[in-house]
Amino acid sequence: MSEENEKTIGRREFLSSAAVLTATIPLALTLTKSLGASPLKSDRMPGASASAIRNVPVDSGVGTLEEELAKAGFKGATKSRQVKLRVPSIAENGAIVPVQVDAGPAANVKTISIFIDKNPTPLAITIKYSPDNGKAYFNARMRMAKTSNVRALVVMKNGSKLYNSKLVKVTIGGCG
């Protein structure tokens, strides 16, 4: 009786099940990580030996732009060309806006924070650096809800705060 109920899996069924599983696992890990959990027990950015990323959970009660800037220590920051911020003047798609920040040697830099003023969550990311990183450099694609200023705030090891900002015009919406 048990032999009659057993089903043999054919090659096609096995491959289609494996494909579904392969596609589902990265999605589950991404969703888990975006909700603030760490499924891999790692808070380090791949390729950067000691960079910790601050994730903002969905239900964290994110404040206004002014509150987020104050929390990150933006008050008293000086605009500086030492913070090289590279973003396009016009982004054709707000879902993938390239953002690059170069702040020089990592031995001098404590953190880099990226703010996108008109996003639902203004603080996009904060990266902590150590001398092991070599260079305080960040490169990623960010989502932008609409035309907005992008700000890079760099907190130096000596306590000084430097920033640079640039207006990015978004022609197709990204995250809102």
Q: What is the CATH number of the domain that holds 86?
A: 2.60.40.2470
Q: Note whether residue 105 is domain-resident.
A: yes
Is the pLDDT reported for residue 1 higher than 80?
Answer: no
pLDDT number for residue 3: 52
- How many percent of the chain have pLDDT more than 90? 30
Q: How confident is the model at residue 5 (pLDDT cuts 50, 70, 90)?
A: low
Contact present, 60 and 34 (Cβ < 8 Å):
no
Q: Mean pLDDT, the chain, as a whole number? A: 76
What's the pTM value of the predicted model, to 2 decimals?
0.60
**Assigned domain for 77 exists:** yes
Q: Which helix (H) or strand (E) holds 24?
A: helix 11-34
Summarize pLDDT for 112-143 with one digit per residue, the tens: 999 998 888 888 999 998 888 888 998 999 99
Structure confidence by residue, pLDDT tens digits, 81-118: 999 999 999 998 888 999 999 998 888 899 999 999 88
Q: Are residues 27 and 76 in the same domain?
A: no
Residue 29 lies in a domain: yes
User: Which structural domain range is residue 26 located in?
Assistant: 2-34
- Domain assignment present for residue 176? The answer is no
The CA angle 167-172-173, to the nearest 5 degrees, is: 80
In a domain, 20, yes or no: yes
pLDDT single digits (tens) 38-58: 444 444 444 443 334 444 444
If asked whether residues 87 and 166 sit together in one domain, one would say yes
Q: 175 in a domain, yes or no?
A: no
